């Protein structure tokens, strides 16, 4: 357990900063998918390394919370460890790697495989909050496009993609439509995780520290990836591949290059361990697909 650092407020940032973030989080939840600007503070962790998610977590967290932090699905990756060290040292809360035990999960680039409950909050770190940035560099203009629901440019972009490549080229960070109103960047989660946002039981909060935006997807909210009638949204294909460690064939896999071969392991390391012990542990099942 890391020792608590002295001389700093509980959860590091001052109460004025927390209050502002809390007000903005409530507005974000009230207007699903809309990016609320906020006065992002500098933290001892670099901009672009999860400071938006971190500021949300620090504003949410209380002494009784149980926290899980992952990066690329893993609890042990250096960045996840670094953020954990910081929060532990400034709050003293319990840290877990068990997805089901956590009250708050902060994540970069993944949603855990197991189904999250309605008393949990998932905080996603966001590098680019603006889904329209790929077609329009200027903030003034993208803000107008959202205001007027003028989304023609991104539809044209996707259409031209299909014409040229017979496939949409966006890998992760696949744009979604939230509650039929706002196009939203789901953060760089793989497409595999995108259906998890739709009608979920959990509250998803998104924080972009460098770009100073907060947004949210409440539970039971319709979240649809942008797709065409004749060109459906498609998740990553792991057909014929299995995790080398737990033998799962239904999880998102990391591809690993070794000297003599190529192999795959689960990206969600905590889930992989559970499956390793008990192959019958359930992952999230997409009820909307059934």
116 binding another protein? (CB under 8 A): no
Q: Cβ of residue 15: shortest distance to another protein, in angstroms?
A: 6
CB 93 within 8 A of CB 61: yes
15 binding another protein? (CB under 8 A): yes
Total interface residues for another protein by CB under 8 A: 106
Cα–Cα nearest to 218, from 192, 184, 188: 184
Which of 1, 3, 6, 147 binds another protein (CB under 8 A)? It is 147
Please calculate the CA angle 250-251-255 and round it to the nearest 5 degrees: 120
Q: Cβ of residue 169: shortest distance to another protein, in angstroms?
A: 6
117 binding another protein? (CB under 8 A): no
Query: Residues 191 to 220: which contact another protein by CB under 8 A?
Result: 191-192, 203, 210, 212-213, 218-220
For residue 60, the tally of other CB atoms under 10 A from its CB is: 20
**Strand stretches in the chain, DSSP E:** 36-37, 66-71, 94-95, 104-108, 121-125, 176-178, 182-184, 203-208, 213-217, 223-225, 253-257, 262-266
For residue 273, the tally of other CB atoms under 10 A from its CB is: 16
Which of 168, 177, 183, 243 binds another protein (CB under 8 A)? It is 168
Query: Residues 37 to 96: which contact another protein by CB under 8 A?
Result: 37-44, 46-49, 51, 59-63, 71-74, 76-82, 85
Q: Cβ of residue 131: shortest distance to another protein, in angstroms?
A: 15
User: Is 33 labeled as catalytic in the residue annotation?
Assistant: yes
Residue position matching structure tokens 């591949």: 241
What does the radius of gyration of the chain's CA atoms come to, in whole angstroms? 19
Which of 4, 117, 118, 249 binds another protein (CB under 8 A)? It is 118
Which of 6, 163, 166, 229 binds another protein (CB under 8 A)? It is 166
Which of 99, 198, 248, 267 binds another protein (CB under 8 A)? It is 267
Query: Residues 216 to 235: which contact another protein by CB under 8 A?
Result: 218-222
The smaller minimum CB distance to another protein, of residues 146 and 154, is found at: 146
In our burial notation (b when 16+ CB lie closer than 10 A, e otherwise), range 157-172 reads bbeeeeeeeeebebeb
Catalytic pick among 73, 92, 266, 276: 266
**CA-CA distance, 223 to 198, in Å (whole number)?**
4
255 binding another protein? (CB under 8 A): yes
* Length reported for the chain: 290
Q: Cβ of residue 30: shortest distance to another protein, in angstroms?
A: 3
Query: Which are the catalytic amino acids?
Result: 33, 243, 246, 266, 272
């Amino acid at each position: 357990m890391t020792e608590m650092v002295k001389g700093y407020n509980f959860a590091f940032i001052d109460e004025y900063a927390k209050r502002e973030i809390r007000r903005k989080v409530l507005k974000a939840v009230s207007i699903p998918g809309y990016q609320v600007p906020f006065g992002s503070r500098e933290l001892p962790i670099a901009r672009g390394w999860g400071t938006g998610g971190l500021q949300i977590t620090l504003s949410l967290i209380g002494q009784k919370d149980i926290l899980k932090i992952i990066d690329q699905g893993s609890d042990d990756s250096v960045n996840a460890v670094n953020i954990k060290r910081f929060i532990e040292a400034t709050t003293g809360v319990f840290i877990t790697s068990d997805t089901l035990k956590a009250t708050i999960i902060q994540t970069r680039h993944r949603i855990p495989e197991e189904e999250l409950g309605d008393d949990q909050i998932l905080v996603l770190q966001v590098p680019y909050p603006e889904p329209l940035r790929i077609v329009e560099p200027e903030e003034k203009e993208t803000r107008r496009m959202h205001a007027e629901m003028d989304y023609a440019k991104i539809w044209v972009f996707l259409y031209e993609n299909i014409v040229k490549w017979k496939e949409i080229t966006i890998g992760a960070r696949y744009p979604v439509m939230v509650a039929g109103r706002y196009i939203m960047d789901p953060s760089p989660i793989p497409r595999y995780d995108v259906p998890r946002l739709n009608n979920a039981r959990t509250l998803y909060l998104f924080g972009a520290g460098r770009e100073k935006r907060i947004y949210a997807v409440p539970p039971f909210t319709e979240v649809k990836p942008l797709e065409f009638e004749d060109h459906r949204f498609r998740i990553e294909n792991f057909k014929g591949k299995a995790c080398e460690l737990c033998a799962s064939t239904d999880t998102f896999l990391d591809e690993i290059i070794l000297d003599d071969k190529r192999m795959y392991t689960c990206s969600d390391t905590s889930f992989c361990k559970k499956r390793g012990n008990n192959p019958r542990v359930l992952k999230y099942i997409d009820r909307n697909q059934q």
